[in-house]
Structure 1
Amino acid sequence: MTGYEDIIHLAHHVSVRHPQMSREDRAAQFAPFAALTGHKDAIRETERLTERKRRLSEDCRQILDLYLREICQSQEPREVDFEYFVPDQKKEGGSYQKKSGCIRRIDTYLNEIVLQSGDRIPLDEIVDIDGVIAAADEV
């Protein structure tokens, strides 16, 4: 006899004390370990909330640039609404967030806007300022 020929035709053992594990739970045993990602329902929820980054056309980028220059040249500080993309640190995609505030300065070295509150917004991730792009799409 070679290999498992002596036991290959024996009946499969089924425990009397322990119920059989579901296929999903058995598969989870072989999934990568991620202790800090939370419960499996929470993982599904975060995967569903991840979005792809939208690419703005060159025309939209120019509109945003002109509008941003106009805001910066204004003599009086004013509240500005930004919509920008925040990449997810663990997987592909991310989420769009909105932040409002007065611009303190534009940091050209780090390529970001610094608000009066100290919050920073990367210039390359901005997709809309005060609804300008949304208004341009409606025309």
Structure 2
Amino acid sequence: MSPDKRAAQFLPFQAVKGLDEALRAKEKITVPKIELSEEMFEELDKKMHDIRKGSIISCVYFHKGEYLKVTGMVARLDEVARILQIVNTKISFDDILDIIFE
């Protein structure tokens, strides 16, 4: 058997294209969005009023069935559009769970 044919038998075989990605997506555990209590909402509202453009913060937010945390400089705080932008990540006010000042 030639070396090329011998090597080919050890190459990974993928019978169904995209199967690996589909399996990884299936493994992802989704969580329901937490509804803020009145007390949690008031605390978050106070923190939101303390945010200034250029400050460094961490934000925990809901996105596509999971909670993510992003840390960075506040690039934009748009109260009309209700968007908080940290570096390149745009977050709707309605999806924010917590703000941590660094």
Please confirm whether the aligned pair reaches a TM-score higher than 0.5, indicating the same fold: yes
- 1:50, CA displacement in angstroms? 0.8
2:46 to 55, 60, 66: 66
Partner of 2:37: 57
Distance 1:55 1:78, change over 3 A: same
Compared with structure 1, are the counterparts of its residues 37 and 96 closer, same or farther at alpha carbon in structure 2 (3 Å cutoff)? Answer: farther
2:66 to 95, 98, 103: 95
Alpha-carbon deviation of 1:41?
A: 4.0
User: Alpha carbons of 1:41 and 1:108: their partners in 2 closer, same or farther (altered >3 Å)?
Assistant: same
Corresponding residue for residue 79 of structure 2:
108
Cross-structure match for 1:20: none
Overall identity of the aligned pairs, in %:
26
The one-letter amino acid paired with 2:78 is D
Structure 1, residues 4-45: CA drift from partner, whole Å, max 9, x if none?
xxxxxxxxxxxxxxxxxxxxxxxxxxxxxxx99735643541
Normalised to the residue count of structure 1, the TM-score between the two structures is: 0.51
Question: What is the CA distance between 1:71 and its match in structure 2?
Answer: 2.6
Work out the CA distance in 2 between the residues paired with 1:110 and 1:97. Answer: 21
Deviation at 1:125, TM superposition (A): 0.3
Which 4+ stretches in 1 moved above 6 angstroms?
none
- Name the one with the larger strand percent: 2
Shift, 1:114, TM fit: 1.9
1:40-61 C-alpha deviation (Å, 9 max, x unpaired): 6435412xx1111111101111
Equivalents in 2 of 1:82, 1:56: separation in Å? 15
Total equivalences in the alignment: 85
Instruction: Say yes or no: does 1:79 pair with 2:56.
Output: yes
C-alpha change, 1:104 and 1:42, in structure 2 (3 Å) is closer
Match of 1:118 in 2: 88
| Contact persistence 1:103–1:113 (CA under 8 A) | yes
